[in-house]
Amino acid sequence: MRLTGSQISQLYSLVKSPNFDHRYLPPERLADVIERSKKLGLYCAIGKSQSGQEIGRVNLGHGPFKILAWSQMHGDESTTTRALIDVFEYLSQREHHREFIEWFLTHFTLTMIFQLNPDGAKSYTRENAAGQDLNRDARSCSEPESQALQDLIRLLKPDLCLNCHDQRSLYSLDRSINPPSISFLAPSIDASAGVNDARLRAMNWINGAVEKLKDAAIEGVGRYDDAFCPDCFGDHLQSMEIPTILIESGHIIDDSDRESSRKVAFIAIISLLSSIQTHSLGVSTDVNAYWAIPQNINCLRDIVLKDVAYQGGLVDIGIQKVLRLKNGTLQSSHVVHDVQPAGTLLGYQTHDAGEQAVLINSHEIDFVNKEIASILLKKSNLLIKI
């Protein structure tokens, strides 16, 4: 059974789930999808969040090869949640790609957790209600959400895990303004970026998905940084010989609600599912195609102040747009992200300070991680509007 990338792309508008076209996705917005999955006998609760909200899973298929996918372990990363809901819609219908879907559901079991961190989704925060980053809790499993995931992994014994996230606008595929539309990672198993059987499988399946994305004319596929983080779920599971793939929905310029990114994430996920059944389940020893995927470079900022006089030298000041929930809606502001040597950063928008010092919120130094109220060129006394 084969699907091409172009076939997957052409189908998207016909199966895309309506009413999920905004970045803010509180748990109650999923009520209709959850209720429908319950009526179909596909839903099961797996635990509760820090504040007592139910966390559930949806099962599709009854095959021997088991795939577990979860999204929104970071509550402010909703793009892949919406993409997984689209996957649910796609695999639940029989009007399109019927032969492939019936084959998939016969040979595979796909379990999806739409929101592992419903508290964070509600408050639009990365962390859970206790202020903990769930993707730094793999070993200790101190949080109820992490425990629910770990218990499910022990129960299912999945053959593949898909750890789904949103990628920030910080990354480029090269030293230009070239953000990836999506990135993959076969996480490392140790500090030496070692490779075991599980990681080789993950690399092989990523390669298959990338080929389908090319066929779908998806440009800008990246490879996420594989620095080892033993407390991250991907690295932890990979080191435990459970093949795991990190999916990072990318930043696409002029896509503020990440609807274009959502479509790419859907195509990427279906491409992965199709690649597993069109490529040998054994391990490919040729990993060159995986390493040839361009690695993300952390060099982009939403706004860059260039050539700023700072502590006796010249620097670039990186500024990022942030979204915070206020009165039930997302409101944007800007914060100083970092200060780097001059020529280091590239900006989607740039302002040349002309080797002048700047006053940010009336401060010349103490402004990193601070929300910006004003930027003033110190010598010329000119305001920079962002």
86, β-bridge pairs: none
Rounded percentage of the chain residues whose pLDDT exceeds 70: 97
Could you write out the DSSP letters of every residue in 157-208? --SEEEEEEE--TTEESSSSS---SEEEE---SSTT----HHHHHHHHHHHH
| Phi, psi (degrees; rounded to nearest 5) at 102 | -65, -40
Distance CA 300, CA 304 (A): 9
Task: Provide the terminal-to-terminal Cα distance of the chain, rounded to the nearest Å.
Answer: 51
- Could you tell me the pLDDT band of residue 43, with boundaries at 50, 70 and 90? very high
Query: What is the model's pTM?
Result: 0.95
- Could you tell me the pLDDT band of residue 2, with boundaries at 50, 70 and 90? confident
The full set of domains in the chain, from first to last, is 5-297 (3.40.630.10), 299-383 (2.30.40)
- Could you tell me the pLDDT band of residue 69, with boundaries at 50, 70 and 90? very high
Q: Among 244, 240, 260, which Cα is nearest to 252's?
A: 260
Distance CA 259, CA 79 (A): 8
- At residue 285, the pLDDT reads 60
- Could you tell me the pLDDT band of residue 276, with boundaries at 50, 70 and 90? confident
Task: Please check whether residue 267 is in contact with residue 249, taking contact to mean a CB–CB distance below 8 angstroms.
Answer: no
Residue range 331-349: mean pLDDT, rounded:
98
Q: What is the mean pLDDT of the chain?
A: 95
Q: State the chain's maximal CA–CA distance in angstroms.
A: 70
- Could you tell me the pLDDT band of residue 275, with boundaries at 50, 70 and 90? confident
Torsion of CA 35, 39, 40, 45, to 10 degrees: 60
CB atoms within 10 A of CB 186: 27
Q: Does the pLDDT at position 273 exceed 60?
A: yes
For residue range 115-128, what is the model confidence (pLDDT) as tens digits?
A: 999 999 999 999 99
Residue range 177-206: mean pLDDT, rounded:
95
For residue range 205-249, what is the model confidence (pLDDT) as tens digits?
A: 999 999 999 999 998 999 999 999 999 999 999 999 999 999 999
Residue range 152-174: mean pLDDT, rounded:
98
- Could you tell me the pLDDT band of residue 283, with boundaries at 50, 70 and 90? low
